[in-house]
Amino acid sequence: AAVEGALGHSDAVRLQSANPELRAQLQAPLRPAYDLELELLRERYEWAIAAGRDKDADAIAAAAFVSADASRAQSLGDVAAQKYSPAVRRALASEFQRREALYRELAARQFALDARVDRSGSDDPHARHLMSDIAELERQADAVNTAIASRAVSAGTARREGTGRASLPSLPADAALVSYWLGSESTYAWVGLPGAIHWTRLPSPVTIADQAVAFHHSLTRLVDVPLERRLHDARALYEMIMRPIEPWLSGARQWVVIPDGALDYVPFAALAMPDPKADSFVATRHDVALAPAVWMLDTSGARVRLRARRALLLVADPVYQPDDPRLAVVMRTSATSQPPARHSLDPDLGRYQRLPFTAEEAAQISAQFPPADVDRLIGLDATRDRLLSLDWSAYRFIHIATHGIVDAQVPQLSALILSSYDSSGRVVDGAVRVADLSLESLAADVAVLSACDTALGKQVPSEGLLGIGSTMLARGARAVVASLWPVSDEIGARLMTEFYRHLLRDSMSPAAALGEAMRSVVSSGAADPALWA
């Protein structure tokens, strides 16, 4: 009771800050308290099991599950709760511009620092000076974010008492909820089924975290890591985190997984289930969905679905390079024939290569919708300004097929990278950052981020991954489909085309449609999970 009371009081302290980023930082030091609460509940649970008091044990397991879940994704709840009226947006115009300028400067400094450290090491005097500059820019950005957040109209906040501590969410008969906790000393897994809950210990958190990182590393190194290494890592991690709970999952076609810690970086569909004849991936037998926290799931269907005015917003195939032939056409017809110069707006200008298969992907996807219901931002039209000028809440589906970057140190800099040039051939800022997304309101059934690394974000204990996909989920998307690492454009295009076919023609859920698409790709011969997971 004392631990519970202290954690409840900590929420009141956390909510005194209007800045969601600072709230996330305040949440992190509370992790040991949650660890202690779960350890105490585990002792009571094991005593109840030993005494044959199964009903008491089930109640304790449920209490532990809900307690762990109440600690998760609080900052996403804060982002979800913020509403900005048109009047407030106009009043905050200068603050938005100031924040945009600060983030551009932060990106430039971070780019320079990375290059300097690679060349001279972190002890280099110039590197230390850049670190100091970055710290000051972050301080200024925090101040601006606090000013912006303080003007938001709150639609409620994600407090512990609002998460439903009395019961687990209702589930379909063929579904299972799997939740993990990687503590300082113990790892726990809960399996929630219709009318039942199970709780068990897993191998040490260090062992699991190391294997999860190794698996993610092997998946992202398609060229220099052999397939057998990926399959070995997929089998090893399955043995650690799935094998102990396998008996409870045998009848569940659908898995809803709440990962924790390093497991946030794991594509559960790509885990390999050992089979006497051959490896069988989880995706070949199950549909898998991930969620930051159970309290974010709308399992009751209570959320009102808004009628979208448009079917699809499609963003694809931006122009990144100055020698892109599409840019050359614009320059030939413009007043000047001079090629665009490098610009301080984009310190990485020229780093990103064209994603040619995204144009084919866009064509195949848009062909599945009535032409009049699709808004396209392709090529030189796929700019930051064009995208942010749209009302995102008007679309049932949002599909963005571009490069994406993740900054684990400064998550505010994580961004979708759109065109570096506009339709006039001018150099423009192509980064659509997390801060931009936090101002959008979405009503989409599905938002797809068919881009490199877009599902990743800053790892904050109890908070999960703070990145592009989770922000879109917080701002109203019912489901987000996002890649965890660079995926082959050709395979990605095929996967996405199959996904929409099952989603639209067969009226499947996003998780089921993605599962069918994965199975189709695997059956066609793409057995390497790095190509489709």
In a domain? residue 360: yes
| 10-24 average pLDDT score | 54
- 343: confidence class by pLDDT, cuts 50, 70, 90: very low
Residue 379 pLDDT > 90? yes
Q: What is the reported pLDDT for 89?
A: 85
Residues 370 and 230 in one domain: no
pLDDT tens for each residue of 81-120: 777 888 888 899 999 999 999 998 998 898 899 889 989 9
Residues 93 and 228 in one domain: no
Residues 279 and 175 in one domain: yes
Cα 526 to chain centroid distance, Å, stands at 25
Residue 157 pLDDT > 60? no
- 319: confidence class by pLDDT, cuts 50, 70, 90: very high
Residues 281 and 403 in one domain: no
Q: What is the reported pLDDT for 164?
A: 39
Of 298, 333, 361, the one marking the end of a domain is: 298
In a domain? residue 234: yes
Residues 335 and 468 in one domain: yes
Tell me how far apart the alpha carbons of residues 502 and 513 are, in angstroms, rounded to a whole number. Answer: 5
**Residue 203: φ, ψ to 5°:** -55, 170
* Domain span at 331: 310-486
Query: Measuring CA to CA, which residue among 105, 200, 182, 186 is closest to residue 144?
Result: 105
Residues 325 and 423 in one domain: yes
Residue 407 pLDDT > 60? yes
Residues 195 and 112 in one domain: no
Residues 316 and 438 in one domain: yes
Q: What is the reported pLDDT for 169?
A: 75
Residue 273 pLDDT > 70? yes
What is the rounded average pLDDT for all residues in the chain?
84
In a domain? residue 497: no
Residues 254 and 125 in one domain: no
Q: What is the reported pLDDT for 508?
A: 95
State the first-to-last Cα distance of the chain, in angstroms, to the nearest integer: 43
Q: Coil, helix or strand for 238?
A: helix
Q: What is the reported pLDDT for 285?
A: 92
Task: Give the residue with greater pLDDT, 330 vs 185.
Answer: 185
pLDDT tens for each residue of 436-465: 998 899 999 999 998 666 555 555 555 555
**Residue 285: φ, ψ to 5°:** -125, -20
Count of domains forming the chain: 3
The overall pTM is greater than 0.75: yes
Tell me how far apart the alpha carbons of residues 105 and 84 are, in angstroms, rounded to a whole number. Answer: 25
Residues 474 and 330 in one domain: yes
Residues 401 and 453 in one domain: yes
Residues 267 and 407 in one domain: no
pLDDT tens for each residue of 24-80: 666 667 788 889 999 999 999 999 999 999 999 999 999 999 889 888 877 777 777
Percent of the chain with pLDDT over 90: 53
Task: Give the residue with greater pLDDT, 452 vs 506.
Answer: 506
Burial (CB < 10 A; 0-12, 13-18, 19+), residue 504, is: middle
In a domain? residue 185: yes
